[in-house]
A and B are shown apart, each in its own frame.
Chain A
C-alpha cells in the first residue's frame, strides 16, 4: 500500500464528505477495509486522526465568521467525550463482526439523512439591543431558568438577511443524550458521527443549520480526541497509515470547501446515496464473511 494511495483516500473522502456536511471517516474506514485490506481496528484508528485534523483545520473559518456557538459546544462536549470514553471501553470487547454491522447501519441512516434535506428549524428571534453579537449572554431573558445561567442563546450573522439573527437553545437534556450516542459511535467507528449530531442539533436543540454545522464541526475534534488518545497509547494507530490519510484529509477539506461547494449537488447527492448504500451492503457482507470485494472480512 503506497503512501500516495493513502493520501488520495484521505483527500477524496474528506473532500467528498465535507461537501455533504459529513466527516470523511464514513468513507475512509470502508475504503481501507475493502480496497486496502486493512484491519478494521487499524482503519478506525487512522480515520479518527483524520477526523480530528479535518475538524481543527476547518474550525477557524466558522469561528472567525461567528457561526460557532463555543459555549454550547463545550457544554455538549461533556456528553460527547463521556460517550467516547464509553466507546473506548466497549471497543475492546466488541467483535469486528459487530463493528461491520454497526458501520453498515450508520451508512444507511446517513444515506437516509442525505435524501431528507435539512430544513432550518424555527429561528429568527430578533437580535435585541441588549443581546451580544456572539454567544455568551448570561441570563438571556425568556430562556428556561435552569439553562439561562449558561448563556447558550446567541445570535449569528446572516448575510442574506443583512444582520444578526437570534436563536434560542431548546431541550438541552435531549441534545446531551443524542451527543452521548454521537461520542460513542465516534469512538467505536472512527467517524465524526454526524448521523447523530445532525438530528441532535436540528431536531433536539433546534439550532439554525449554519450554527449547527459550525458548532458540530468545532466539537468533532474534542470528541475524537477523547478516544484517539487512548487508541494512540494502546498502539492501535499506525503512523504509516494514519499519517498520509490525515495529510490527505486536511488538503481534501480545503479543496472541498473551495471547489466542490460550487458544484450543484443535486445529482451528486443521489450518487452518494448510492455509494453509501453499496458500502453498507459490502460491510454487512464482510460481517458474515462474504467477500463481494476482495479484502473485507470480519476478523
Chain B
C-alpha cells in the first residue's frame, strides 16, 4: 500500500518516507458504531420478547461495542506506525479490562 491516508499530512509523511494504508479511520469507526448499535438493539428487542438471556446478550454487545472501537483504533495506529497513539490505545484497553476484572471479582 502506498497511498497516503488523509488522517495525516501528506508532506510530512513523504518527508519521513512512511507509507500508510489507504482510507481514513473515521468512516470505519462510524460504520462499526452505527451497525454495532443497531445489531445490539435488534438482539435486545428479540430477547425482550423471547428470552432474558438473549436480552442480556444484547446488553453485553452494547457494552462491548466501545471496547471493540478501542481495539480497532489500536490496530489502526499500529498499522500506520503511530506508536504513541497505539500505546495510549493499549493503556485505555488495559483499564477497560481491569474494570471487567473488578466486576468479575465481585
Q: Establish whether residues A246 and B96, one from each chain, have CB atoms under 8 Å apart when the complex forms.
A: no
Question: What 0/1 readout, one digit per residue, does chain B (7-39) give for beta carbons within 8 Å of chain A?
Answer: 111011000000000001111011101101110
Q: Establish whether residues A228 and B55, one from each chain, have CB atoms under 8 Å apart when the complex forms.
A: no
Bound complex: CA A220 to CA B60 (Å): 17
Indicate if A229 sits at the interface (CB-CB under 8 A).
Answer: yes
Bound complex: CA A3 to CA B38 (Å): 19
Of A59, A227, A246, the contact of B41 (CB 8 Å cutoff): A246
Q: Establish whether residues A53 and B73, one from each chain, have CB atoms under 8 Å apart when the complex forms.
A: no
Q: Contacts of A70 on B, CB cut-off 8 Å?
A: 25-26, 29, 73
Q: Establish whether residues A137 and B103, one from each chain, have CB atoms under 8 Å apart when the complex forms.
A: no
Q: Contacts of B47 on A, CB cut-off 8 Å?
A: 239, 243
Q: Establish whether residues B70 and A134, one from each chain, have CB atoms under 8 Å apart when the complex forms.
A: no
Q: Establish whether residues B7 and A85, one from each chain, have CB atoms under 8 Å apart when the complex forms.
A: no
Contact A74 B48, CB 8 Å, known A134-B24, A137-B9: no
Of A66, A138, A237, the contact of B8 (CB 8 Å cutoff): A138
The secondary-structure label for the interface of chain B is: helix
Q: Establish whether residues B96 and A226, one from each chain, have CB atoms under 8 Å apart when the complex forms.
A: yes
Q: Which residue of B8, B26, B27, B44 has the most chain A CB atoms within 10 A of its CB atom?
A: B26
Q: How many residues of A contact B (CB 8 A)?
A: 61
The secondary-structure label for the interface of chain A is: helix
Contact A56 B103, CB 8 Å, known A3-B48, A134-B24: no
Q: Establish whether residues A59 and B29, one from each chain, have CB atoms under 8 Å apart when the complex forms.
A: yes
Q: Contacts of B58 on A, CB cut-off 8 Å?
A: 239, 243
Given A55-B66, A226-B95, 5 additional A-B pairs, CB 8 A: A64-B30, A71-B85, A81-B96, A230-B100, A232-B103
Task: Write 11 A-B pairs (CB below 8 A) sorted by A numbering.
Answer: A53-B41, A59-B29, A77-B70, A130-B12, A229-B99, A232-B59, A232-B60, A239-B52, A240-B48, A246-B59, A246-B62
Query: Which residues in B have some Cβ–Cβ distance to A below 8 Å?
Result: 6-9, 11-12, 24-27, 29-31, 33-34, 36-38, 40-41, 44-45, 47-48, 52, 55-56, 58-60, 62-67, 69-70, 73, 82, 84-85, 88-89, 91-92, 95-96, 98-100, 102-104, 106
Q: Lowest 6 CB-CB distances: which A-B pairs, in order?
A: A230-B103, A233-B103, A221-B66, A60-B30, A60-B34, A63-B30
